[in-house]
């Protein structure tokens, strides 16, 4: 199997730029956890760089064709591929209450749902980074008082420090999305509380 065909209904846009993939992999600071979960690895362009890190990398992938590709090309992932829908899967079947980080080139059609699930699991997730549609990444990281500051910004920033790291052009994907992408990093706050006003 040479390649996986991108499936529109899964919101797949495969990253094809190695330098961008490496830059995303390097956003994680690797403090306070030994395990990483990559959501939607596709053909593993980001996974390859995660496997070089001094942590254990797991991947969760709903697309059976991508799962077969990963099994074939990344023997280091043996036993660490979760062939499930991240939004419906009980991740503690794998992590059993342990701390873990999340990374990914997130499918745009479910990216905010991924963030909400991450917030449910915030006591286990000290760090979260990856690529979103640019305007979603900006909204998550927006400061109070800005016109795009909204419920997503409030909820995420109640529990995490949010940093917008860099913008990614459309042409580094196959097929190219219609919008630019943005990479962010969320680092869990030690003391968190929801604002009252």
> Which fold, 11-188?
Rossmann fold (3.40.50)
Output 122 or 149, whichever has higher pLDDT.
122
Residue 137's pLDDT is 96
Cα 96 to Cα 135: distance, rounded to the nearest angstrom: 34
As given in the structure block, the two tokens for residue 115 are 């963030």
In this structure, what token pair is assigned to residue 22?
């490496």
**Interior angle at CA 60, CA 52 and CA 160, nearest 5:** 80
| Average pLDDT for the chain | 90
* Residue 8 neighbours by CB under 8 Å, 6+ apart: none
- The whole-number average pLDDT for the span 80-90 is 96
pTM of the predicted structure, to 2 decimals: 0.91
Cis before residue 175, ω within 30 degrees of 0? yes
Greater confidence (126 vs 64) lies with 126
The pLDDT of residue 13 is above 70: no
């Amino acid at each position: 199997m040479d390649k996986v065909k991108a499936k529109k209904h899964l919101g797949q846009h495969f990253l094809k730029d190695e330098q961008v993939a490496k830059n995303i992999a390097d956003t994680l600071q690797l403090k306070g956890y030994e395990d990483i979960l990559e959501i939607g690895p596709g053909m593993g362009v980001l996974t390859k760089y995660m496997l070089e890190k001094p942590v254990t990398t797991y991947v969760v992938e709903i697309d059976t064709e991508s799962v077969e590709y990963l099994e074939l090309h990344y023997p280091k992932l043996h036993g660490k591929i979760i062939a499930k829908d991240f939004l419906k899967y009980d991740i503690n079947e794998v992590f059993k209450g342990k701390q873990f980080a999340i990374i990914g080139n997130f499918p745009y059609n479910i990216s905010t749902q991924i963030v909400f699930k991450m917030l449910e699991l915030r006591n286990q997730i000290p760090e979260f980074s990856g690529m979103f549609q640019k305007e979603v990444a900006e909204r998550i990281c927006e400061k109070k008082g800005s016109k795009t500051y909204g419920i997503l910004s409030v909820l995420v920033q109640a529990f995490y420090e949010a940093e917008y790291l860099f913008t990614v052009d459309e042409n580094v994907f196959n097929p190219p999305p219609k919008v630019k992408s943005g990479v962010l990093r969320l680092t869990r706050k030690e003391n968190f509380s929801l604002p009252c006003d």
